């Protein structure tokens, strides 16, 4: 049976408890070997919600791009990042949570409730929050945030691909595809690679030994 599309049930429940501004929050880029982790926080207008919002991974690139523009046109959106240096320093989960907090802090006025994709709330969260497992397929606000985060990050990697050709970042977005791993071996490690991730760490260790 096909899963039901995301809806406003989580947002409606938060409103019923007294929340006025509810934001959905998601990140993109926990798995890649290169590039920042990017998060988005989105407050949707229930009267002007784009049709077809869903987990960004279930959408084609063309559909994501179209929905990205629609979301920016009718919702409140903020994007936050954590850098490769921060990922290597504090680990990818903490860095993803840091990017989420930065995205939330960029909304003005601040939301009074946030719906966070996943099973953990960020440590530095300063507003009431709720973790929603697989939230990008269940909450429209989180689905919108997943699309904004994914499209923003993919565009960052496309820009980086022009500066560092050969790794295929315009196609693999920094994920460990066969071509990316082969390029790492052949071309070496760039400043945008995450040194704490095993394939990158192993190549650096080989070079030292």
What lies within 8 Å, CB to CB, of 177 at 6+ separation is 168, 171
In a domain, 196, yes or no: no
What average pLDDT does this structure show over 117-138? Answer: 96
In a domain, 90, yes or no: yes
What average pLDDT does this structure show over 107-117? Answer: 97
List the CATH number of the domain containing 23. Answer: 3.30.420.10
Is residue 1's pLDDT more than 80? no
In a domain, 105, yes or no: yes
Is residue 174's pLDDT more than 70? yes
Is residue 96's pLDDT more than 90? yes
In a domain, 198, yes or no: no
In a domain, 169, yes or no: no
Instruction: Say if strands 76-82 and 37-43 run parallel, antiparallel, or are unpaired.
Output: antiparallel
Q: How many Cα atoms are found within 13 Å in the side-chain-facing hemisphere of 110? A: 11
* Percent of the chain's residues with pLDDT above 90: 94
Count how many domains the chain has.
1
pLDDT tens, residue by residue, 6-65: 999 999 999 999 999 999 999 999 999 999 999 999 999 999 999 999 999 999 999 999
What lies within 8 Å, CB to CB, of 115 at 6+ separation is 10, 11, 14, 22, 23, 24, 25, 129, 130, 132, 135, 139, 141, 142
Spatial distance between the Cα atoms of 12 and 89, rounded to a whole number of angstroms: 38
In a domain, 99, yes or no: yes
What's the pLDDT score for residue 19?
Answer: 97
Q: Categorize the per-residue pLDDT at 208 as very low, low, confident or very high, splitting at 50, 70 and 90.
A: low
In a domain, 185, yes or no: no
pTM for the predicted model, two decimal places: 0.96
Query: Domain residues for 155?
Result: 9-164
Cβ atoms of residues 54 and 61 within 8 Å: no
What average pLDDT does this structure show over 170-177? Answer: 97
In a domain, 180, yes or no: no
Cβ atoms of residues 132 and 139 within 8 Å: yes
């Amino acid at each position: 049976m096909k899963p039901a599309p995301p809806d406003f049930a989580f947002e409606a429940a938060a409103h019923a408890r007294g929340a006025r501004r509810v934001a959905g929050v998601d990140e993109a880029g926990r798995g890649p070997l290169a590039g920042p982790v990017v998060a988005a926080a989105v407050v949707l207008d229930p009267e002007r919600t784009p049709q077809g919002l869903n987990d960004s991974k279930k959408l084609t690139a063309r559909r994501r791009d179209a929905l990205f523009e629609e979301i920016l046109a009718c919702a409140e959106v903020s994007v936050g990042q954590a850098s490769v240096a921060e990922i290597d320093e504090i680990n990818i989960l903490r860095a993803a949570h840091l990017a989420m907090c930065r995205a939330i802090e960029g909304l003005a006025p601040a939301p009074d409730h946030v719906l966070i994709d996943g099973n953990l709330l960020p440590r530095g969260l300063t507003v009431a929050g709720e973790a929603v497992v697989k939230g990008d397929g269940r909450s429209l606000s989180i689905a919108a945030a997943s699309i904004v985060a994914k499209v923003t990050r993919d565009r960052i990697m496309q820009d980086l691909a022009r500066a560092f050709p050969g790794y295929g970042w315009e196609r693999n977005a920094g994920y460990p595809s066969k071509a990316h791993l082969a390029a790492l071996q052949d071309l070496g490690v760039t400043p945008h690679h995450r040194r704490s991730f095993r394939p990158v760490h192993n190549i650096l260790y080989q070079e030292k030994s």
